[in-house]
Amino acid sequence: RIWKSLYVNAFENATNALPGVRGVLLAYNTNIDALKYLDKEDLEERIEKVGKKRVFELMENPPEKVTSLEELFAGILRSIKLGKAMEWFVEDRGVRNYLREWGWDELRIGGQAGIMANLLGGVYRIPTIVHVPQNPKLQAELFVDGPIYVPVFDGEFKLVHPKEAVKENEEELIHYIFEFPRGFHVFDIVAPRENRFIANADDYNAKVYIRDEFKEHFNKIVKNVDLAIISGLQVLKESYEDGTTYRDVLNEVEAQLDMLNKRNVKIHFEFAYTANKKVRGALINLLPKFTSVGLNEVELASLMEIIGDEELAREVLEGNVFSVIDAMHLLMDETGIKRIHFHTYGYYVALTQYRGEEVRDALLFAALAAAAKAMYGSIENLSQIRDALSVPTNERAFLTEEELEKEFGEVENGIIDMTDRQLAFIPTKIVASPKSTVGIGDTISSSAFVSEFAMK
């Protein structure tokens, strides 16, 4: 079929174009992910020690945050019991010390900006400037070698690899990720599916802390990039104990967006699920300052709860492709944003206010990157992405393509002309037994955005 050759061509076109990107800015969230694979005996012993009865009570009445060891274990057990991903903030110093001593099996760079830095700088070899709220050694060493930079200002402005700019006295922002497999058995609890509990011991990213020098010298940073990807705003709350609100952060962000726009830097917003509705609404209002936005079905549905209606939101969540397209049009009408990239299991759609085959090729390249990420867990080089060409293309999406054809007329190699807009649709590659599905969304969005603008 045609998709096979489209995929091959897209890989060639994208990889040829990537070296042409002068620089990408990634802000704001970077942290340390500490992974621990839970061990039954160890966990049971620790729970017995702090008091099993109380832990089980708290498991049924979840506090949603951690102020004691009992609450920490209640969170872990609840996540296992429900097979649900959960993340609780760790407020207590003592619990943070306990977690640090308990340790981890593996450290990885975390935060969307941090993760994308290792992909765009480390694999695509694009000069990448990344915002690090803190730069302790433990975190700096998780950045791979390559053109990854943080700005430093001692006397003059310089861009150096995070490892060359370590600040020994800065805090380690650690997200403790407790992974468990399906069927994991602890006391009388059995995990119905694999998942993870995250104990978040990171005061900085929770408030979208922006370094002072990053604010003061932002004009110099901007001069070094063609593209920017903004992420991490999903954690914002309505107000904080110190009297500040999400507005204070968004004003700061807005000022930086204005400076980027003034220099014609194309800006992508990675829209992660934002629990607070007021913040979510404020983020929609910020979208006119962006060129592009990336989201999945949960995120698009959550926006329809605000600018659409409950029914449209539900249909999007169920994956109805026509509802997805309606929702994308609505979001474009409301915000004027030029590019919306939707991704879900099995297919991606991009709605743009401009035309071009590179939009589709960028989606295809992103699907190869996603499949490589699913296959290998982490991507180390472009040849792993090339390997993904041999992963079968999702055949179910061919039916979706036919439905689109019935509704919109001709679909020319994945591209539908909609008078003033273009819709690109691609069936993705699906890896049958993925090594991991963590961080695939960020891989998809950043690969598509960066490669599309590289191919222009």
Nearer to ligand 8BR, 28 or 342 (CB): 342
Closest distance of CB 289 from ligand 8BR, Å: 22
Amino acid letter at 340?
Answer: I
Q: Which residue has the tokens 């539908």?
A: 416
Q: Which is nearer to ligand 8BR, 134 or 231 (CB)?
A: 231
Amino acid at the residue 302: S
Q: Which residue number has the CB closest to ligand 8BR? A: 441
Query: Whole-angstrom Cα distance, residue 379 to residue 367?
Result: 13
Cα 215 → chain centroid: 23
Q: Burial letters for 372-407: b for 16+ Cβ neighbours within 10 Å, e otherwise?
A: bbbbbebbeebebbeebbebebbeebeebbeebeee
What is the spatial distance between Cα 343 and Cα 446, in angstroms, rounded to a whole number?
Answer: 12
Residue 430 to residues 72, 319, 370, 396, Cα–Cα distance (Å)? 36, 17, 9, 11
- 3 state DSSP class of 12: helix
Tokens 């079968």 label which residue?
392
Choose, by CB under 6 A, the member of 374, 416, 423, 426 that binds ligand 8BR: 374
Rg of the chain, C-alpha, whole Å? 22
111 lies in the site for ligand 8BR, by CB under 6 A: no
Considering only the stretches 15-23, 98-106, 220-228, 430-438, report the one whose residues sit in contact with ligand 8BR under the rule CB under 6 A. 430-438
Nearer to ligand 8BR, 423 or 431 (CB): 431
| Binding map of ligand 8BR across residues 120-159, x = CB under 6 A, - = no contact | ----------------------------------------
- Cβ–Cβ < 8 Å for 388, 444: no
Peptide bond into 28 cis (omega under 30): yes
- Separation CA 231–CA 240 (nearest Å): 20
Is residue 440 part of the contact set for ligand 8BR (CB under 6 A)? yes
Binding track, positions 271-300, relative to ligand 8BR; x by CB under 6 A: -------------------------x----
303 binds ligand 8BR (CB under 6 A): no
Task: Give the sheet arrangement for strand 339-344, strand by strand.
Answer: 156-160, 148-154, 128-130, 24-27, 227-230, 266-270, 292-295, 339-344, 347-352, 421-427, 415-418
**Lookup: tokens for 425:** 């649709």
- Per the annotation, the verdict on 202 as an active-site residue is no
Q: Which stretch binds ligand 8BR (CB under 6 A): 80-88, 103-111, 170-178, 424-432?
A: 424-432
Site residues for ligand 8BR, 311-370, by CB under 6 A, read 343-345, 370
Q: How many Cβ atoms from other residues are within 10 Å of residue 162's Cβ?
A: 24
* Nearer to ligand 8BR among residue 26 and residue 69 (C-beta): 26
The least CB distance from residue 337 to ligand 8BR, in Å, is 18
Interface pattern 174-213 for ligand 8BR (x via CB under 6 A): ----------------------------------------
Site string for ligand 8BR, 215-244 (x = CB under 6 A): ------------------------------
The CA–CA distances, whole Å, from 125 to 23, 191, 241, 431 equal 10, 40, 41, 25
State which of residues 123, 159, 325, 430 lies at the interface with ligand 8BR (CB under 6 A): 430
Nearer to ligand 8BR, 51 or 181 (CB): 181
Closer by beta carbon to ligand 8BR, 68 or else 437: 437
Residue 110 near ligand 8BR by CB under 6 A: no
Using CB under 6 A as the binding rule, whether residue 431 contacts ligand 8BR is answered as: yes
Residue whose CB is less far from ligand 8BR, 71 or 299: 299
Residues with a known catalytic role: 442
The residues of the shown chain that bind ligand 8BR, judged by CB under 6 A, are: 296, 343-345, 370-371, 374, 428-431, 434, 437, 440-441
